[in-house]
């Protein structure tokens, strides 16, 4: 069922367009369609009254993507009961999905059984069961921001409370993956689409961090402790603790959230930092806790580049700045430079491709006017005349891109435009 677009969003989209017509004309034609892309094309109300958000060209609801897609709309919720209804419906759907299977990353509209047919414990309501730590963090980020923006606690239902309990249980269990029964095997696919070691993943040491099978790109982790996802978990657990204390008045579970957040934090700080000969102390992308590290970054968020955006640290944090210099250099195996753009790519897409999400995140985490303008220039020149962002593109031939319809990239880009406008960047 198609939804009516709340007037407050159409008005904001028009304001964005007019602002960039005056201040950055080459981006003006992108402002309105990118800002509205999620609400126009990916959000629908189902027959039972609930709300469902697809990613774009894939007809399933990813927990991570759906939260990121609607995030730029939250700040306008106070001015629109219609938008409140939509956002509250999405939050409720996310909680219900986690309660179906907290290991799943993507869900179907109904118990249709469509989607991947992998060797794992599949529910017919699940599209895919790749366990990704950030999938459980995303609903907490979205609901916490909505609560802080509107002051409304009606979103915190008993289903939401059940989700909070499941998140704590799973994160705690996966602090020692040897005790987990989770497995995932896919056949006839690239090795990045399935877990090694009979579907259990490579062995890991106990560190305090929580294990993840897959990255936010949906590619398998090389080493099971994915540092940026654990950073996101540390922050999300803080949000959950506050909700449990203030709304549910469950001080016992709130304390468990606080203790787990601290354990994860010290796991990151004790096991996730590497002394680099060129950059000094930097965060690894992944580690197994046995002294093996994967030094890289992927454009998908949570990423190391996104640490301040995720709320893990400030932009000027020394280790973040060291890590950022590594990420935005040829020493990061997935950093790409071309004639029209340079930035972070991903092993998930063709070699030599840059991700708009990576360029946008670079701008969102920068205090440098020159760097932000450089990012805007690259984005304005590489959308191949479509007026939309894509998943990735060839920085020498931007008409070679992946995913024509990728709503997360569009609304993250719109969030950047929004932020710059709110901060009077061009005035």
Order of strands, edge to edge, in the sheet holding 293-294?
A: 225-226, 286-287, 293-294
Omega of the bond leading into 78 within 30 degrees of 0 (cis): no
Q: Find the angle CA(323)-CA(327)-CA(328) to the nearest 5 degrees.
A: 120
Q: What is the DSSP letter of 406?
A: B
Distances in Å between the Cα of 7 and the Cα atoms of 2, 35, 408, 412 are 15, 13, 21, 20
Burial of 116 (0-12, 13-18, 19+ CB in 10 A): middle
pLDDT of residue 2 exceeding 80, the answer is no
Res. 1: pLDDT tops 70:
no
Q: What is the DSSP string of 333-395?
A: TTEEE-SS-EEE--TTS-TTPBPHHHHHHHHHT---HHHHHHHHHHHHHSSTTSSS--SEE-S
Per-position DSSP letters for 16-74, written without gaps between them: HHHHHHHH-HHHHHHHHHHHHHHHHHTEEE-TTS-EEE--BSS-SEEHHHHHHHHGGGG
- pLDDT tens, position by position, 110-147: 999 999 889 999 999 999 999 999 999 999 999 999 99
- Please give the model's pTM, rounded to 2 decimal places: 0.98
The 8-class DSSP code of residue 248 comes to I
pLDDT tens sequence across 386-415: 999 999 999 999 999 999 999 999 999 999
Question: What does the pLDDT read at residue 116?
Answer: 81
Q: CA-to-CA distance for 318 and 188, rounded, in angstroms? A: 44
Count of beta carbons in the 10 Å neighbourhood of residue 426: 12
Angle formed by the axes of helices 251-271 and 158-173, to 10°?
Answer: 40
Q: Read off the DSSP letter of residue 2.
A: B
Task: Note the CATH number of domain 61-333.
Answer: 1.50.10.10
Q: Which one, of 167, 158, 174, lies nearest residue 224 by Cα?
A: 174
Q: What rounded mean pLDDT belongs to the chain?
A: 97
Instruction: Tell me how far apart the alpha carbons of residues 198 and 111 are, in angstroms, rounded to a whole number.
Output: 28
**What is the DSSP annotation of 153-200?**
-TT--HHHHHHHHHHHHHHHHTTSGGG-----B-SSS-GGGS-HHHHT
The answer to whether the beta carbons of residues 222 and 286 sit under 8 Å apart is: yes
pLDDT in tens, 23-78: 999 999 999 999 999 999 999 999 888 999 999 999 999 999 999 999 999 999 99
Smallest Cα–Cα separation from 258: which of 270, 278, 271, 244? 244
Q: Domain locations in the chain?
A: 1-41+338-427, 61-333
Q: Is the pLDDT of residue 341 over 80?
A: yes
> What is the spatial distance between Cα 374 and Cα 371, in angstroms, rounded to a whole number?
5
Model pLDDT for residues 160-185, shown as the tens digit of each residue: 999 999 999 999 999 999 999 999 99
Q: Are strands 126-128 and 106-107 parallel, antiparallel or unpaired?
A: antiparallel
């Amino acid at each position: 069922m198609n939804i009516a677009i709340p007037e407050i969003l159409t008005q904001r989209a028009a304001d964005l367009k007019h602002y960039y017509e005056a201040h950055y004309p080459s981006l003006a034609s992108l402002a309105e369609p990118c800002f509205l892309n999620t609400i126009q094309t990916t959000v629908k109300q189902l027959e039972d009254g609930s709300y469902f958000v697809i990613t774009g060209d894939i007809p399933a609801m990813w927990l991570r993507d759906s939260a990121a897609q609607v995030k730029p709309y939250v700040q306008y919720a106070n001015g629109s009961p219609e938008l409140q209804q939509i956002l509250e419906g999405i939050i409720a759907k996310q909680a219900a999905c986690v309660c179906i299977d907290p290991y799943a990353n993507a869900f179907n509209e109904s118990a249709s059984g469509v989607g991947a047919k992998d060797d794992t414990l599949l529910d017919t309501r699940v599209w895919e069961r790749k366990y990704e730590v950030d999938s459980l963090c995303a609903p907490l980020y979205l609901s916490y921001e909505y609560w802080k923006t509107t002051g409304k606690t009606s979103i915190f239902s008993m289903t939401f409370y059940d989700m909070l309990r499941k998140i704590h249980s799973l994160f705690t269990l996966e602090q020692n993956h040897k005790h987990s029964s989770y497995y995932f095997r896919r056949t006839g696919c690239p090795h990045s689409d399935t877990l090694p070691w009979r579907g259990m993943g490579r062995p890991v040491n106990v560190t305090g961090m929580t294990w993840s099978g897959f990255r936010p790109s949906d590619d398998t982790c090389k080493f099971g402790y994915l540092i940026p996802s654990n950073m996101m978990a540390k922050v999300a657990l803080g949000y959950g603790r506050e909700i449990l204390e203030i709304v549910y008045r469950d001080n016992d579970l709130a304390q468990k959230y606080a203790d787990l957040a601290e354990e994860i934090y010290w796991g990151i700080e004790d096991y996730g930092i590497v002394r680099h000969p060129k950059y000094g102390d930097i965060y690894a992308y992944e580690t197994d806790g046995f002294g093996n590290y994967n030094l890289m970054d992927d454009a998908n968020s949570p990423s190391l580049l996104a640490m301040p955006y995720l709320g893990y640290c400030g932009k000027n944090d020394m280790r973040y700045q060291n890590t950022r210099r590594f990420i935005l250099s040829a020493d990061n195996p997935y950093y790409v430079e071309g004639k029209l753009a340079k930035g972070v790519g991903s092993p998930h897409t063709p070699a030599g491709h840059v991700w708009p999400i990576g360029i946008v995140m670079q701008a969102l985490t920068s205090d440098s006017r020159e760097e932000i303008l450089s990012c805007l220039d690259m984005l304005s020149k590489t959308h191949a005349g479509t007026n939309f962002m894509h998943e990735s593109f060839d920085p020498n031939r931007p008409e070679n891109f992946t995913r024509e319809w990728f709503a997360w990239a569009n609304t993250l880009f719109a969030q950047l435009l929004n932020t710059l406008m709110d901060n009077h960047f061009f005035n």
